[in-house]
Structure 1
């Protein structure tokens, strides 16, 4: 993995490059970024750069013996630790290393759900067990085999329970030329004893234009399709890549049509439309609702006078501005709440036909009859 293969993150890349050039490589670092930000890919690219035999000014060479091994994730001085679904108490990350390499090489923007698909997870809970902690200590107690550094990348240290305290000594006093790179999404779930011993590297989600350009250049999407996916994914490249696998991403026209049917209370047509939504498939239903939530949020911004913050493409912006004249802030908040609840239930495998019909009826109540759910706190009209 090279830095040039990672979308955006120019400032973070420059900071990592400078730490090597200025010989300020901290032995324990925490790459903290939300899902889809590329934090894991950055950690691997950083490790490859540190180990490269012919470093360039802005990246590893990609051609030396070390880089070639890194590109296969098979360098003898590169080690990984990650959550897994143990079948036996003695299972460690090494038990699943072939699946791990296949998953990470296929998608550097790996998520726990994608990783679960490579394993026989059943209903087991993922964790990093005490056997894995002992294995990490054993790996890092040895000297580097080929490179100047021995490097361990731990993905999602949030899954370390109190057993993680076994790693404190090796993190605080590692062997010379040993790097410990943790890649996390939620700082609050990491053991404080580990957190206090690492140098923080914050990784923001990539911007809308960066995601859009990536989808056009690397995945040959049209400008409209790339723009819609970039907007819908909200900087999460894991979600953006997942959306590419779906059958259709034309959610804007579908969602606007749904609102129009509800605002005019066309009962029979609403039923026919919800039957179509029920056939989309679970992932497309989630993306459709996610788009709706985002679109309604943009309408809220327009209604509240913050239209300069709206990020919609021109054609969709025009539609949003027209709808903002018909929908009050109170309506928009109520609609957003119904869509959030629907997304929650789709994730939990609710019957889609019943679910979308129920949501449609709620939208008709809000948009046509202008009545609102009781017990909820909505801002005044």
Structure 2
């Protein structure tokens, strides 16, 4: 069986789906691994390193796509790439199935068996495959570094001959993987950290990292399947904003991380809240690509409002391609090893990992939420 690693073509994408170490593990299992020439260059993994691990370097992009039994990517394929996919082959990567159901339909028409890394279930058994979490951790870490560079203050308390400098106040909204990593990083830099999440169960995790947990009593379920935050009612959103306004007002840095899969990101920081923030304060909005948690966010831009800087970064994991690629590659490797036994793809749809992650097979779309998304697209059209 031939495993192929495609070079990413998305603007700004520097990650690669496999690194030389993971290639070597697949080769030792008797699998043939092709790597597109230059696929790892942006992540500082050379073609020579892949060769040394046992991979075949392929310069002909078309041949790589046509002849791969299993094609590995980071980003969803472009339209011209879908046409090159081997009919009946396997595709693994971030496919954004809930945000772009039309792509999954195109893959089904091509009879491609597609696995979406976003849909790996958040269970202990699938933890080593959870690419969404591994990449969110990278984003949370980098968000704090961006904020520390942008805010016109020190993060830690400093005692100097010129007097004592008070530590920065950081407020992190959303305590999933990205939020927890942001808390840990901000604490390491010496800031005073507060955090909020609509899921009360994360309180102990927040406190274990040295942050104060801000509680908001909501009279509805706030946790969706898989442990993700659930979109709440307008009344709950209003109640949340009322409680959080004062904490945002006092913060030097606000980092927002709240996202709902397949939906526009919820607004946590309104324009009115921004207007009350201190001049020089910084907001880093990790939900910028989904519309933003801050009403003032513009994806990919730094915006100034009343002396407050709102930063809307896009694809932060790609800005740290070495470790982001290593982590993603391990996630992908574990999934591939789970799916391939004795050099053959073995699909047991009674298995929750396979049934959750496989979005198309044998010409059919398997995920009900993707099918519902397609129906909605047709209605809107």
- Alignment TM class, shorter chain as reference: 0.3 to 0.5
* TM-score, reference length from structure 1: 0.35
More strand by share: 2
> Who wins on radius of gyration, i.e. which is larger?
1
* TM-score, reference length from structure 2: 0.35
